[in-house]
Amino acid sequence: MSDLSVIFVCMGNICRSPMAASVLRTELEPLGLTHVTVSSAGTGRWHLGDPVDRRAHAALARRGYPTDHAAQQFQPEWFNDYGLVIAMDRDNQRDLRRLAPTRAHSDAVRLMLEFDPEAESLDVPDPYYGAATDFDTVLDLLEPACRGLASHLGEL
């Protein structure tokens, strides 16, 4: 396991977590941290192999982020592969903690918005059943949190 490896986790891995991965990769480049491994996964298997949701794709593209993605489901053994396992909300955090092979792994699951000291909530809302503008709102939350996370990774 490397401290410089991050996996973002949401429910289906077609909205929030791939958006976070795309934003973080972009934030890492100017810091010279392109060696950090960044991935994403879902707690469920509904969208395995699917690309990012079309509305997420559009929101990312409007802001200049890459959108290459294929959904995958988080596997318990991956706790050993990633220095940071980051859930998009407390429901996903709870699901990940149930999957964790040890108490230490369970306690180490972080929430995305912990990395934004100005966040008003710790949950990134799921935009899947909402409007296209909800994906822009998610990006508005992810961008400062990813900047905070990139800064954190730069200090490791």
What pLDDT does 2 receive? 59
Lowest mean pLDDT among 1-15, 24-38, 49-63, 71-85: 1-15
Is the pLDDT assigned to residue 112 strictly greater than 60?
yes
Q: What would the CATH number be for the domain defined by 2-154?
A: 3.40.50.2300
Active-site annotation holder among 53, 89, 95, 126: 126
Which of 146, 137, 25, 35 has its CA nearest to residue 86? 146
Two tokens, residue 78: 């991956």
Measuring CA to CA, how many Å separate 42 from each of 16, 49, 148?
10, 11, 23
Average pLDDT over every residue of 68-87: 96
Average pLDDT over every residue of 116-126: 97
What pLDDT does 156 receive? 86
- Per the prediction, the chain carries an average pLDDT of 96
Active-site annotation holder among 16, 25, 55, 110: 16
- Indicate if 134 belongs to the active site: no
Average pLDDT over every residue of 141-147: 98
Contact 49, 73 (CB under 8 A): no
- Indicate if 10 belongs to the active site: yes
How many whole angstroms separate alpha carbon 27 and alpha carbon 22? 9
Average pLDDT over every residue of 89-100: 97
List Cβ neighbours of 111 (8 Å cut-off, separation of 6 or more).
Answer: 86, 87, 88, 89, 90, 93, 122, 123
Tens of pLDDT, residues 36-68: 999 999 999 999 999 999 999 999 999 999 999
Give the global pTM: 0.96
What pLDDT does 120 receive? 96
What pLDDT does 3 receive? 66
Q: Dihedral (C-alpha) 57, 58, 61, 67: value to the nearest 10 degrees?
A: 10
Is the pLDDT assigned to residue 1 strictly greater than 80?
no
- Indicate if 146 belongs to the active site: no
